Structure 1
Amino acid sequence: MGKYILKRVLQFIPVFIGVTIILFAMKTIVPGDPISMITGGRSVPEQTRLQLEVENNMIYGDENGRPIYDENGDTIPVPIWEQYIRYMDDLLHGDLGTSYQKKRPVTDIFAEKYPYTVKLAVCAICLEAVMGIGAGLVSAIKRYSFWDILVTLITSVLVAVPAFWLGMILQLTFGIWLKDLTGGAISLPISGAGGPNSQYMDWVHYILPAFTLAAVSTAYTARIMRSQLLDVMNQDYIRTAKAKGLSGRAIILHHALKNALIPVVTYIGIDFGAMMAGAILTETVFNWPGVGSEIYRAISSRDWPLVMGGVTIIIVVVMVINLLVDISYAFLDPRIRLGNSKSED
């Protein structure tokens, strides 16, 4: 198992380097003057502009931050490959740059935003796991019954509904109509994450965005759970368990469920990584102060340090979660653990 984990970690290195190269290339080829973005489009003195170019590794400068000139009196541009090396060196030292618009370190900005995204993702993934796996189990056990048809109908609707539309419908229903019907006695907050001046308890703010974020994924989880459990129930070892006289409950819980969960865990793990990356549509609709909405605003304003820093953090989070998902296979299916030990020998 240790060798397997080490192998997977080493596989992350070329992926990470490839992603940073793509991000850096996008920053380079996208039209627009970085200095104008830094200054907000305002005209600045030439000396100030040159100093900003030195600070952003666009031209060579001395130890005091002053530009270096060649024999013709022109500034010396830093080659792209050297800019990338400097960028990676800063990245490995935890320096993600400074936001053009906010004039703050990108690390500090995401340190404030990420807790909101993590808490929202945890709430959404818990809903997805409980409701999705539960609905899939009921649908498979009660095959062709009313409950199976109901689960199939609901999942089909959720899969077809765009997340932003569902979010707005929930805001309208539980934030406005419900408030009008109850005279303001009952309603759910439709934006923001709460705070000291909020009239609601903070956890109430998570209900609508968490449900919106989990809705489509829950439908897919239920479908995968149903199909996998039905497939496992037709295996020979399940027939043997039935022949031994085991109850249906014991067969499902002790024999079928673990094997059926492997594809479900894969999907939930990948989906959790996507949620941790920040759901841009959901966070934007609910004005959620998380990573997704921050990256969306950064893209709109071409704040490249913020975009690159956010995507870099997302890539690391997704890779770590994928590793944890792979490790979980060994606990769900001993045959995978046995296969790894044989391959290592």
Structure 2
Amino acid sequence: MRTTLSIAGVAAFIFLLATIPFSITITEGNLVIDFQVILFYVKDYVASIGNGEIFHYQVGKSGTYNLLADLPPYFLTSLQYLTLSGFITICMSMLVSAWSSKSKREWVKDIIGFLGTLPDFILILFLQLGVVFIYQSTGFKIAKVASRSADENAFLLPLITLTLIPTIYLIRTLSERTYDVLAEDYILSAKAKGLKKRHIYMHHVIRNVLPYLKADLHKVIAIMMSNLFIVEYLFNVRGLTTLLFGGTMYQYNLVVNTLFSLVLLYLLIYWLLRLLILIMERVFAHG
């Protein structure tokens, strides 16, 4: 029952969100919401399911395309970037948080904190300028600053951007949790017994930090998804968000279908990362 209500709530939110450009107007300084317009577009969308028109969208004045044929490549591109960045984020944050929790080098923590305050677009600008500077200085091109076409998507810089901010968030969170776990009596007892630090971390610390990681997983994915919009736009990556901001006219069915696809993408990333955490639990916690 709870799952059904959640699905219905998400669907209703998407339908309402997509109607905002049509249903909300400002009349004589007052915000007016036209609920009849909302009902019209929702009914029209549902009615067009049977004839398949909801999967047609227009590009330009004359070009009409089938979303069912065009959507998979866009979806898989976004899935690839998010999956890789998610795996790197979790692995890096676990390693660095274990190190930083016992490190006394405050300048490293200050750098991590500073990087966490950088907005996405500033980080992207620095990365692109850095690549250009290295190329002009050495003649060596270490990465593409933007995608030329769907077959030549930029890879390294978008991946770094998607990974860095959620990784810093997790490092700061998990470092505190790791520090707390290391102060627990059972850890002190394990140290008193002469157990090696590696054994303590692998079989005691990680096992008690992973629940906090699972609890923060929704926040991490939310950060990654919000970054995805900026990354795909500024790096010209042909992902899902291209369908929303690709220069086509505003089309209700296209926006609704893309938003549903983003929800599906979110769920896939969530369960893939949960699977990674499960594997980590099996490998480290139960060694």
Which one of the candidate residues 148, 173, 177 is aligned to 2:133?
177
Q: Which residue of 2 aligns with 1:12?
A: 3
TM-score, normalised by the number of residues in structure 1: 0.65
What is the RMSD of the two structures over their aligned residues, measured on CA atoms? 3.6
* Matched letter for residue 161 of structure 1: L
Q: Which residue of 2 aligns with 1:106?
A: 67
TM-score, normalised by the number of residues in structure 2: 0.77
Residue 221 (1) aligns with residue 170 (2): yes
- Cα distance in structure 2, aligned partners of 1:14 and 1:321: 22
Offset at 1:189? 0.9
Q: 2:5 is paired with a residue of what secondary structure?
A: helix
* Matched letter for residue 133 of structure 2: W
- Cα distance in structure 1, aligned partners of 2:52 and 2:207: 40
More strand by share: 2
Offset at 1:166? 0.7
Q: Compare CA radii of gyration and give the structure with the larger one.
A: 1
Q: Deviations over 1:120-152 (max 9, x none)?
A: 22332233223322221110132xx22xx2431
Residue 191 (1) aligns with residue 182 (2): no
Contact 2:145 2:157 in 1 (8 A): yes
Residue 136 (1) aligns with residue 104 (2): no
Q: 1:30 is paired with a residue of what secondary structure?
A: helix
Contact 2:232 2:242 in 1 (8 A): yes
Offset at 1:88? 8.5
Unaligned runs of 5+ in 1: 1-9, 33-76, 335-345
Which one of the candidate residues 206, 211, 219 is aligned to 1:257?
206
Unaligned runs of 5+ in 2: 24-35, 283-287
**Residue-pair matches, total:** 267
Q: Which residue of 2 aligns with 1:47?
A: none
Q: Which residue of 2 aligns with 1:302?
A: 250
Q: Which residue of 1 aligns with 2:183?
A: 234
Which one of the candidate residues 119, 122, 125 is aligned to 1:168?
125
Q: Which residue of 1 aligns with 2:285?
A: none
Contact 1:116 1:290 in 2 (8 A): yes
* Matched letter for residue 6 of structure 2: V
Residue 211 (1) aligns with residue 149 (2): no
- Cα distance in structure 2, aligned partners of 1:256 and 1:161: 30
Percent identity between matched residues is: 20
By relative contact order (CA 8 Å, sep 6+), the higher-ranking structure is 2
Contact 2:82 2:269 in 1 (8 A): no
Contact 2:146 2:236 in 1 (8 A): yes
Q: 1:189 is paired with a residue of what secondary structure?
A: coil
Offset at 1:292? 2.2
- Cα distance in structure 2, aligned partners of 1:100 and 1:15: 31
- Greater alpha carbon shift after TM alignment, 282-291 vs 99-108: 99-108
Q: Deviations over 1:287-321 (max 9, x none)?
A: 111112332337x7322222111111122332354
Q: Which residue of 2 aligns with 1:116?
A: 77
Contact 1:133 1:222 in 2 (8 A): yes
Judged with a 3 Å threshold, the aligned counterparts in structure 2 of structure 1 residues 284 and 85 are, in CA distance, closer, same or farther, namely closer
Q: 1:191 is paired with a residue of what secondary structure?
A: coil
